[in-house]
Amino acid sequence: MLFGASTPLSRLLLSRVTPALLAALLYLGAGVGLALSLGLARRGAGLVRSDARWLAGATLFGGVLGPLALLYGLRATPAGVASLLLNLESVFTAFVAWRVFGEQIDRRLAAGMGLVLVASSVLAWPGQVHGAPTITGPVAIAIACLCWAIDNNFTRKVSDADPRLVVAVKCSVAGAVNLAIALALGARWPGGTMVAVSLFVGLLSYGVSLLCFVLALRHLGAARTGSWFSAAPFIGAGLSLFVAREPLTVALVVASALMGIALYLHGTEKHEHSHEHPPTRHRHGHRHDDGHHRHEHAEGIAVFEGHEHEHEHERLVHAHAHFPDTHHQHEHEPSDASG
């Protein structure tokens, strides 16, 4: 909901702020806001040395290249169309997770992604969409989606760390880089009110939204988090009808119906089989009623409440419904691909 609302709101802000400067303000609002929150609440797991390259790559693709491509694409694409085209991110995220990182993809998830791709093609077809006479805008948005797909899979590698820290670092660095680019291109500062509004939109639509997204990556894996994130553009498309007063077109209705079916397929997926958990040692927030945490504690720790510390897992073999979360990164046989 929060990220979906950013598309029509960003398009309105683009009338007063250049794309590079708006990208900087959105990310600075998110980065500074979450950095301040780290000093007001108990810290979770920190980053380790091996996280640096993943976080750096996620920041480059997701915080610099992606937003710039999106904001330039928004200049040539109606907000409602752009909102639904953003569903390409989930398709690209699942493909990268499957082909590059070996994440298991079930039949329902694959079918849903296919419907998302068809729906996005309907919206991007030249001459078929009101207000989008050329392919330039949709192509720029598709490039942004590919950048964010790479970002999502890189961020999955550091999702066990405190999500506030992950998002604060990504957004602060991305905001600083985009600000340098904007100033180098000669961008002029808007009025104080526009700056404040841009920072606030960034805090909610990028900062808090990304915070929820990183938590979802930890529990669902990259492909399924991306598939559920497909709900975000529906919010943007709906708001664009009221905020930007854009017309309700046949293409939007057809694409929305196809994407609705895709979300139904994603929501009814069930993946269950016997699998092995090898011995491992790591740190993250957990409870002791999830079937995976059976270690001992010092006296005084409420094991059935959320808590966080470094802990060790012994080898475990069992069967239950699961997603490719922190504890389920195992290989699959063809017979395991239930749908």
Are both 18 and 49 inside the same structural domain?
A: yes
CB atoms within 10 A of CB 252: 25
Instruction: List the domain range (segments joined by +) for residue 286.
Output: 273-336
Last-in-domain residue among 248, 269, 290: 269
Are both 50 and 132 inside the same structural domain?
A: yes
pTM for the model: 0.69
Number of domains in the chain: 2
Are both 220 and 123 inside the same structural domain?
A: yes
According to DSSP, residue 245 is labeled -
For residue 241, give the amino acid letter. L
Are both 13 and 137 inside the same structural domain?
A: yes
Q: Name the token pair of 331.
A: 């290989």
pLDDT in tens, the chain (339 residues): 898 888 888 888 988 898 889 989 999 999 999 988 877 655 555 677 778 889 999 989 988 899 888 888 888 787 667 767 777 888 898 888 888 887 777 788 788 888 877 877 776 665 544 454 468 888 899 999 999 999 999 998 888 788 888 889 889 998 998 899 899 989 889 999 999 999 999 999 999 998 998 888 888 888 788 877 877 777 777 777 777 677 777 877 888 888 788 878 877 777 565 656 677 766 666 666 666 666 666 655 655 555 666 677 777 676 655 556 665 555 655 545 444
Last-in-domain residue among 217, 243, 269: 269
Are both 142 and 159 inside the same structural domain?
A: yes
pLDDT for the residue 132: 47
Are both 126 and 263 inside the same structural domain?
A: yes
What is the rounded distance in angstroms from the CA atom of residue 290 to the CA atom of residue 303? 11
Are both 237 and 329 inside the same structural domain?
A: no
Are both 249 and 277 inside the same structural domain?
A: no
Are both 210 and 241 inside the same structural domain?
A: yes
Q: In sequence order, which residues have a C-beta less than 8 Å from that of residue 170 and are 6 or more positions away?
A: 31, 55, 58, 59, 62, 63, 155, 210
pLDDT for the residue 5: 86
Are both 185 and 173 inside the same structural domain?
A: yes
* Angle at CA of residue 197, ends 196 and 203, nearest 5°: 90
What is the rounded distance in angstroms from the CA atom of residue 15 to the CA atom of residue 25? 15
Per DSSP, helices labelled H in the chain are 2-13, 19-38, 52-58, 66-74, 79-85, 88-99, 107-124, 136-156, 163-184, 192-202, 209-220, 222-228, 232-242, 250-267
Are both 180 and 313 inside the same structural domain?
A: no
Are both 263 and 281 inside the same structural domain?
A: no
Report the candidate in 243, 251, 200, 258 with the shortest Cα–Cα distance to residue 79: 243
Last-in-domain residue among 269, 298, 327: 269
